[in-house]
Amino acid sequence: MELKDQVMSALKRVIDPELGVNVVDLGLIYQVNVDEDGNVSIRMTLTTPGCPLHDSISNGVRQAVMSVPEVKNVDVELVWEPAWTPERMTEEGRRRLGGI
């Protein structure tokens, strides 16, 4: 599996504790860049600006990605623009949220 796929797989383990859906299926991950030295940069958002969980989730993302053996460094940038919208959710995310 390529490193980027491993990173995405690790990100799917990060669950929003309020919604019970992982950050990838929620559409919170805007961009993932991986270089050949194992440096990963992630641009992500949250469902609402000023979400009280922003420290927990961004730290969770950092730790999950760092758990991938080939990753040497992770940079997480939390952004509010463009704002998150429900359209960014995957089909799986919608399905899980609809059941909540």
Partner 1 sequence: MMPSVTGKTAVSVRLPLSFIGAGVVSLLLGQLVLLFHGALVMDMAFRSPGMWMAAHFLVLGWGMLVAMGTMYQLVPVTFQTPLYSERLGFIQFGITTAGVMLLALSLGFYPSLAREAGGLVLAGTLLFLFQMGLVLWRQKERDMISLFVSSALISLLATLLAGLILAVSISGAMKIFLDAIGAGFLYPINHEALFASHVLLGLVGWFTLLIMGFSYKMVPMFALSHGFSMMPSYWVYGLYTGGLLTTLAGIWMDTAGIIRIGFVLLLTGFSLFAFHISRILRKRMKKQLDPGFSFALLAIGGGWLIHLAGVMILLLPVSWKSDAFAVVVYGFVMIWVTFSIMGYLFKIIPFLWWTHRFSKQVGQDGVPTLKEMVDERSGIQVFLLLAVAVIGVMISMVEGWWFLFMVTQGLVVLSVLRYSQLLIGVLRK
Are 63 and 74 a contacting pair, CB within 8 Å?
A: no
Among 64, 68, 71, 74, binds partner 1 (CB under 8 A): 64
The sign of the dihedral angle between the CA atoms of 27, 33, 38, 41 is negative
| Nearest residue to 74 via CA among 60, 85, 87 | 60
- Residue 85 interacts with partner 1 (CB under 8 A): yes or no: yes
- Residue 96 interacts with partner 1 (CB under 8 A): yes or no: no
Place of tokens 């490193």: 3
- Contact map string, positions 1 to 30, toward partner 1, x by CB under 8 A: ---------x--xxx-xxxx----------
Residue ranges binding partner 1 (CB under 8 A): 10, 13-15, 17-20, 43, 47-61, 63-64, 67, 77-82, 84-86, 97-98, 100
